[in-house]
């Protein structure tokens, strides 16, 4: 598969039309950046991001692991959650932002990338095996999905995605939607 502007546009549109979580996700993309930036968010908003990361797989992610992660995240003191998000938003690069967020219980690099996506969808996007596989299938990443990805892996992924978004003159969130849909057409190995 070769990525092109028209393919990204059509599959991003397909995502909008067919993915069951699109409307609630879109609401998060529209409202959470301002809420996270201002600190005007609640515990449920932060927990929703963790739930979104796992539940977007629609049952393809092991339910027991998902529940463990969601429960573990709830054990974080809410002041610690606020501080970690604030520190991530003040960070000058992706690695520092990831470091701030991964201090929290149940927040690894992929979940931290979800927080960053909802904090600033113009700068960050979520990483997971599906998005990575689509990029690899398109020849944009050489290695298989590193499970779990390191901050350096995320930086490589993010740099590649930013470059593609620039090349195709699209928003990162549109590229994310396209990669998610294209992953249905790829071999994840």
Domain ranges of the chain: 5-19+126-185, 24-119
Q: What is the pLDDT of residue 125?
A: 96
Cα(16)–Cα(23) distance, integer angstroms? 8
Cα atoms in the Cβ-side hemisphere of radius 13 Å centred on 136: 17
184: number of Cβ within 10 Å: 11
Q: What is the pLDDT of residue 123?
A: 96
Residue 109 burial class via C-beta count within 10 angstroms: exposed 0-12, middle 13-18, buried 19 and up: buried
Q: What is the pLDDT of residue 189?
A: 44
Cα(128)–Cα(114) distance, integer angstroms? 10
Q: What angle, rounded to 10 degrees, do the helices at 109-119 and 43-55 form?
A: 120
Q: What is the pLDDT of residue 1?
A: 85
Cα(110)–Cα(126) distance, integer angstroms? 7
Parts of the chain with a pLDDT under 70 = 185-189
- Dihedrals φ, ψ of 113, to 5°? -65, -30
Q: What is the pLDDT of residue 54?
A: 92
pTM above 0.85, yes or no: yes
Helices (H), ranges, the chain: 5-18, 22-38, 43-55, 63-74, 78-90, 94-101, 109-119, 129-137, 151-168, 172-182
């Amino acid at each position: 598969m070769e990525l092109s502007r028209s393919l990204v546009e059509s599959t991003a549109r397909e995502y909008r039309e067919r993915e069951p979580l699109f409307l609630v996700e879109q609401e998060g993309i529209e409202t959470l950046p301002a809420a996270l930036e201002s600190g005007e968010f609640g515990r449920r908003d932060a927990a929703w991001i963790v739930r979104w990361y796992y539940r977007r797989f629609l049952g393809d992610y092991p339910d027991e692991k998902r529940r463990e992660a969601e429960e573990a995240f709830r054990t974080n003191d809410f002041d610690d959650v606020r501080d970690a998000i604030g520190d991530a938003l003040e960070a000058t690069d992706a690695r520092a932002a990831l470091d701030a967020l991964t201090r929290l219980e149940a927040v690894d690099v992929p979940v931290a990338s979800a927080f960053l996506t909802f904090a600033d969808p113009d700068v960050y996007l979520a990483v997971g095996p599906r998005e990575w596989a689509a990029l690899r299938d398109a020849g944009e990443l050489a290695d298989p999905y590193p499970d779990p990805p390191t901050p350096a892996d995320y930086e490589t992924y993010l740099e590649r995605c930013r470059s593609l978004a620039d090349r195709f003159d699209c928003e990162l969130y549109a590229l994310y939607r396209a990669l998610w849909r294209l992953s249905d057409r790829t071999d994840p190995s």
